[in-house]
Chains A and B, each alone.
Chain A
Amino acid sequence: MKYKYFIPLLILALAGLAVGAFGLVDRLQHGLNPTALGSYIPWGLWVAFYLLFLGLSAGAFLVTIMTYVLGMKQFEHIGPLSAFVVLVALICEVQFILLDLGQWHRALYQFFLTPSFTSLLTWMFILFNAMLVIYALKTFFLIRGDLVRWSKDPEKGGLRGLYGLLAFGKTEYTSTDREKDMHKVHILAKISLPVGLIFYGTNGAFFAVLLSRPVWNSAMTPLLFVVAALLSGGALIAFLTYIFRQKDPLNPDGLCYEDRICLDLGKVILFLLVVFLALEGMQFFVGYQTATIAVVTSLDLIVKGPHWWVFWIVHILIGSLIPMLLLIFRAGDVKSVALACFLIFITFAAVRYNFVIPDLAVYKLEGLEATFAHPRLRTDYVPNLNEWLVSLWIISTGLVVMLLGTRFLPIVTENGGTDHA
């Protein structure tokens, strides 16, 4: 990323933190009272954002699959970046879900004291922590050599102490150390395959097991979650690979190493986009064909409810059709591929929103919301200012960590990442 973008983006992120802090303080002082959530739609914007960041964290998982399952070794070079993105996404995820809890402090110990293994939320907690540990270790082993080197580099000035600390005091880094670290990275990558697959699938199963939720309650939901995660996470990684590319000094006008990775990723993203849209199409087809009132009502809310534009304009047009056309007809143009990937991951919040809200609004008992009138007992929901401010705060924390990490840690190297091969 060019230096000129770093400061404006950092200022933007800090401004986001400052503005979002108003919402955060309100949330911490008054619990869930300042939100627009209710008992009939108990999950809202924050859960939708949680799912968005869950998907974005799957980028490294996709890279791991391509590298170790499909044997596409060129993707090994974006290992540090993709592993770091997972950490940033997980940091955002955990904030969204903690702040969505009515008694969030209890989550810090109650999962250990009285866990229930029949609940998929418990398994999500376990798998989330497993992912966090795996990717923290993976990032560490990938960048340890650079950390040691930077801790001795006079050019790094006052940050040398920090790098030494992050390298756990290690002062020498031999080729044997490097081999050992890479071996550990390979083992972690292989462990992350089943763990990641189960993690993303479990997040889908979390919704799918609810018998009373007409659209969620399908064996296809976990599969849809895995594909959605790979698609949105892969798109983010492709976009970031483009953003952090380093021009080849020998051929400044030609394609650099990262450009070629971005183009390769573009092909994978196109495939995943088609699969995702096919699965989504099947969900609608089967739902409308079964003609169960609750299913049809839920699907109708998505396609012709008050927020129809979220589906048709944001998701289908901007997030699917335009990227698909770009990925098909401008597949050789790295800017177009990066733009397509940007559109996919940025609009994926709409997919998550449409997944969470409409199904909560249907299949209640008839007349329920009319009998005991209160804003907390309604089946319509629009996120309020507090929810947006808290979301802004959390996303800004992610952006700050991302900016500082990529600038001051050896996440993106100057030689196209070949150091990490």
Chain B
Amino acid sequence: MRILPKEDLLVRMQRDLARSLAGDHASIKWAMVIDLAKCVGCHACTVACVAENKLPPGVVYRPVTEEEIGTYPNVRRRFVPRPCLQCQNPPCVKVCPVTATYKDAQGITVMDYDRCIGCRYCLVACPYAARTSDFGEWYTKGTPEEPGKIVGRNACADSYERQPAMEYGKEWPERGRSSPVGNARKCHFCKHRLAEGMLPACVTTCIGRATFFGNRNDPESLISELLADPRVFVLKPELTTKPAVYYLK
């Protein structure tokens, strides 16, 4: 019995994901499509990403920029979510002096936090400002503290901050001076979730179903269908970085 008149796109993407993961992993090339006509600028993806990756203040993987287009009275707003574009010709990889950032077999530009020296050359090289540096900030920095009372750092807020990030399938130690503090950080398409057969957090939380994800080498996938759409464009194509994140006008 069909409950919904139409299958939710998330269900379709989840099925596509399972099919890709069940097949030859070497043939997978992950891609993302963001339909700007559907994005309502709710920033749910930004917040989901922050929560999923336990991002500290000042570190953001997927901000949503807002643009005002046209002149009065013909104006409209456009929201542009900007994850790491996972360029196929990534300027950030070439400049890393210690090979701490590289393309994995499935097309994701990943970071090796234990190798990164924190020179921030990759931040400077990225044309999309998709990388941020972890300067060791705390949400609860400077907040009051009262032993035995539910205020300040030792209460709920601090316990959130002490949750380890699970990026790259590893439990990172409590924030202090060790990595990823002092490192460059970036979106990795929630690689740790993909390994468990789950879609990236920004995809599952998109209330407008504006973000699509899948294997662009799978012709049956939703992402492949969307990539054939004539509305497809990429950011700053003149730089020939060949992003794997596409937008629909």
Contacts and interface: CB of A to CB of B under 8 A. Distances in A.
B202 to A, nearest CB: 14
Given A365-B128, A366-B65, A376-B57, A119 B136 contact: no
B63 A368 contact: yes
B181 A31 contact: yes
B120 interface: yes
Interface in B64-115: 64-67, 80, 82, 91, 94-100, 115
B124 interface: yes
Interface string A141-162: 0000000000000000000000
Nearest to B241: A211
Interface in A364-421: 364-368, 370-372, 374-377
B216 interface: no
Residue of A38, A114, A366, A376 with most partner-chain B CB within 10 A: A376
A4 interface: no
Contact of A212 (B91, B98, B135, B179): B91
A135 to B, nearest CB: 23
Contacts of B96: 116, 119
Interface string B112-131: 00011111110111111101
B80 A101 contact: no
B115 A211 contact: no
B97 A111 contact: yes
B118 A32 contact: yes
Contact of B136 (A33, A106, A116, A363): A33
B99 A114 contact: yes
B211 interface: no
Contacts of A211: 91, 127, 239
Q: Which of A31, A370, A375 has the most CB of B within 10 A?
A: A31
B99 A103 contact: no
B141 to A, nearest CB: 9
Contacts of B82: 365, 368
A102 interface: yes
A188 interface: no
Interface in A105-130: 106-107, 110-111, 113-116, 118-122, 125
Interface stretch (A39-47, A245-253, A302-310, A338-346): A39-47
Contacts of A120: 95
Contacts of A38: 58, 133, 135
B84 to A, nearest CB: 13
B124 A42 contact: yes
A209 B132 CA distance: 21
B182 to A, nearest CB: 3
B206 interface: no
A2 interface: no
Interface centre among B119, B181, B236 (most CB of A within 10 A): B119
Contacts of B117: 101-104, 106-107, 110
Interface residues of A, number: 49
Contacts of B58: 38-39, 374-377
Contacts of A131: none
Given A118-B94, A372-B46, A376-B57, A37 B135 contact: yes
Given A33-B136, A110-B117, A360-B124, A370 B97 contact: no
B201 interface: no
Nearest to A122: B97
A77 interface: no
A125 B97 contact: yes
Contacts of A39: 58-59, 123, 129, 131-133
A25 interface: no
A351 B183 CA distance: 29
Given A103-B118, A116-B98, A365-B80, A42 B63 contact: no
B67 A366 contact: yes
Nearest to A379: B129
Given A33-B137, A212-B239, A372-B60, A119 B115 contact: no
Nearest to B185: A39
Nearest to B94: A118
Contacts of B63: 368, 371-372
Contacts of B137: 33, 376
B246 to A, nearest CB: 16
Interface in A169-222: 209-213
Contacts of A114: 98-100, 115
Nearest to B98: A110
Interface string A23-41: 0000000111101011110
B182 A32 contact: yes
Given A116-B97, A360-B124, A372-B46, A121 B239 contact: no
Nearest to B125: A210
Given A116-B98, A210-B91, A365-B65, A104 B118 contact: yes
A210 B127 CA distance: 9
Interface of B: 46, 57-60, 63-67, 80, 82, 91, 94-100, 115-121, 123-129, 131-137, 177, 179, 181-184, 235-236, 239
26 contacts: A31-B135, A31-B181, A31-B182, A32-B135, A33-B137, A38-B58, A39-B58, A39-B131, A40-B129, A43-B120, A101-B117, A101-B119, A102-B133, A103-B179, A114-B99, A118-B95, A119-B97, A122-B98, A212-B125, A365-B235, A367-B66, A367-B80, A368-B82, A371-B64, A374-B60, A376-B137
Given A42-B120, A101-B182, A114-B100, 17 more contacts: A31-B136, A40-B129, A42-B123, A101-B117, A102-B182, A106-B116, A115-B97, A116-B98, A116-B99, A122-B97, A122-B98, A210-B125, A212-B125, A212-B127, A212-B239, A213-B124, A371-B66
